[in-house]
Structure 1
């Protein structure tokens, strides 16, 4: 039986204290140092954790926990994986699914709201026990933030992390913040992608530069970041999927996210971490692992919407 994630989400407290930039500055610095010491090949894996403990893109952030025996099994459930082999046809099919989706029309004064669910191990220890102190620092920051949004005893299970990003934020455009991009800049980038797939990959690598990676690793990381975009231009997203389909050796598996929703997982040969696409919509669903639940980070995007003001929920 599929888990009714909306029933879980409705039980969340409607209001939670919001930490300001000053309160988060120390954690942001520690997370930056941790990311530098342990540079992951797929940087989007650390980004999911780092943004949970830092206000980026002018975002307002609140955190809560779904606890108790009912929630814990979702993050702790054994992962079920069916190998699909090459990801090429899967991604071409996904491109066909999303290409004709309605084109969003967000306004410059609006905000992008996202709700992410992060799975903890049942005993509350950091995901990926071999991560060492760096990963423990990241988990500690997340737990500190979660405490600010709830009262009572510690609860294991799924942590809910909410963000509000300005759709149009000039501070995160035109290279002012490195490879951090506002939702508007990402939307525009996707809308202007060419039809030539090699050029799509080249532009993606320039949009999300890196070092110490093979071309395939860089392509997968950059295109994965673009696949996470919300809102996304449908034809641009389809081009991202088609370009990703040309990455040599990219594999696909059939699995589920931490809410037990059916998902397609994508990974490079030899890598254990998965970019998850919703099996029904072909849109970004979160991050997973072939080793779930004992993975570095396992997340699900539970909700995303364009809203009129920060603090507004969809």
Structure 2
């Protein structure tokens, strides 16, 4: 049995949270560790990260909530729930490659994303990967790495998968394509072909993606408003690899038309320390925003962040200290540092 099959089985009974509840996911972990409804609450938190397309990226780092001693082994404080403060809120380094190339215009989302689209439309479209090839991804996620390191060795041994920043997924994964349990998940091949077939008209493109990645209803959470739904659907597809450059250009032009989308007027530093472009949109029902990170040189997908937009108190389990999330706190910080098509699992470019 491969690791992804194990992952799907471990989360098979996990209910789907409201999509707007992405930011408060950290306090749900506190509840789990406190031992109050541990299995269900941890499953909710896991499902939350899967909703951020970490279902494949969750580089097998699952805490086994079946271990009765979990609450005793892992001590998470409110401070540990926030990865870090915003780093690098500054003007871009004048010596950086992106600035020297003169291709950056961060005055507005339309300026930044249309400039990116102009560049991508000039790139040669490589052939689609073969069905026997693999997708290699390396990502920096210091929060998951820290949580793994904090687990005692005896607990790690009981978990069927291990943490690693590297992952390989088959380009042609027929078993996963036939799994309809997660409406946000698409295999690498499915995502490539969805992207390649997207229409040029931004409105039609966004409508197509909202159809491909439907919004919640009933047990799947409250439905999203149109613009929030569009931005989430775009972010889900962008985390796939590879996407043809001409398709990526169409995606960026459409993203620039989504209501509420912004761009920071400066490069920010991601989890790996690189300077990147941050395309942002605040969650409609949460005091935080999602940031889609783009490489300022080739305009490829570079990661994702969730950042608190307003200082506020968050609910905590009864008997535990009040937790405050401060404006600028980074709740999720994932940097993609490598992505490539390779010929075999375990191969690196």
Residue 164 (1) aligns with residue 172 (2): no
Describe how 1:141-290 pairs up with structure 2 within 5 A: 144=156, 160-173=164-177, 176=180, 178-211=183-216, 212-253=223-264, 254-269=267-282, 271-290=288-307
Q: Which structure has the greater CA radius of gyration?
A: 2
Q: How much has 1:213 moved relative to structure 2?
A: 0.5
Distance 2:138 2:305 in 1: 16
Q: Is the 8 A contact 1:41 1:213 kept in 2?
A: no
Distance 2:184 2:135 in 1: 19
| Residues 1:144 and 1:27: Cα distance change in structure 2 (over 3 Å) | farther
Which residue pairs with 2:346 in the alignment? 311
Q: What are the superposed Cα offsets for residues 163-185 of structure 1, whole Å, 9 maximum, x if unpaired?
A: 21111222344774544212111
The alignment of Structure 1 onto Structure 2 pairs a total of residues equal to 252
**Relative CO higher for 1 or 2, CA cutoff 8 Å, sep ≥ 6?**
1
Decide which moves more: 40-49 or 298-307.
40-49
Residue 94 (1) aligns with residue 77 (2): no
SS at match of 2:331: coil
| Residues 1:206 and 1:144: Cα distance change in structure 2 (over 3 Å) | farther
Which residue pairs with 1:133 in the alignment? none
Q: Is the 8 A contact 1:85 1:251 kept in 2?
A: no
| Residues 1:85 and 1:180: Cα distance change in structure 2 (over 3 Å) | same
Q: Is the 8 A contact 2:141 2:335 kept in 1?
A: yes
Distance 1:267 1:174 in 2: 33
Decide which moves more: 239-248 or 273-282.
273-282
Q: What are the superposed Cα offsets for residues 225-245 of structure 1, whole Å, 9 maximum, x if unpaired?
A: 222221111111110000001
TM-score by length of 1: 0.67
Describe how 1:52-67 pairs up with structure 2 within 5 A: 52-53=57-58
Q: What are the superposed Cα offsets for residues 238-266 of structure 1, whole Å, 9 maximum, x if unpaired?
A: 10000001012211113121112111112
Which residue pairs with 1:13 in the alignment? none
TM-score by length of 2: 0.61
Q: How much has 1:79 moved relative to structure 2?
A: 1.7
CA RMSD of aligned residues (A): 3.6
Identify which of 131, 142, 146 aligns with 1:108: 131
Distance 1:80 1:302 in 2: 18
Distance 1:88 1:145 in 2: 50
Task: Flag structure 2 segments of 5+ consecutive residues without an equivalent.
Answer: 23-47, 61-82, 92-105, 217-222, 309-326
Identify which of 328, 331, 345 aligns with 1:296: 331
Distance 1:204 1:88 in 2: 20
Distance 1:293 1:279 in 2: 22
Q: What are the superposed Cα offsets for residues 117-154 of structure 1, whole Å, 9 maximum, x if unpaired?
A: 102299x579xxxxxxxxxxxx99xx95998888xxxx
Distance 1:146 1:307 in 2: 31
Which residue pairs with 1:59 in the alignment? none
Decide which moves more: 179-188 or 231-240.
179-188
SS at match of 1:37: coil
Q: Is the 8 A contact 2:53 2:236 kept in 1?
A: no
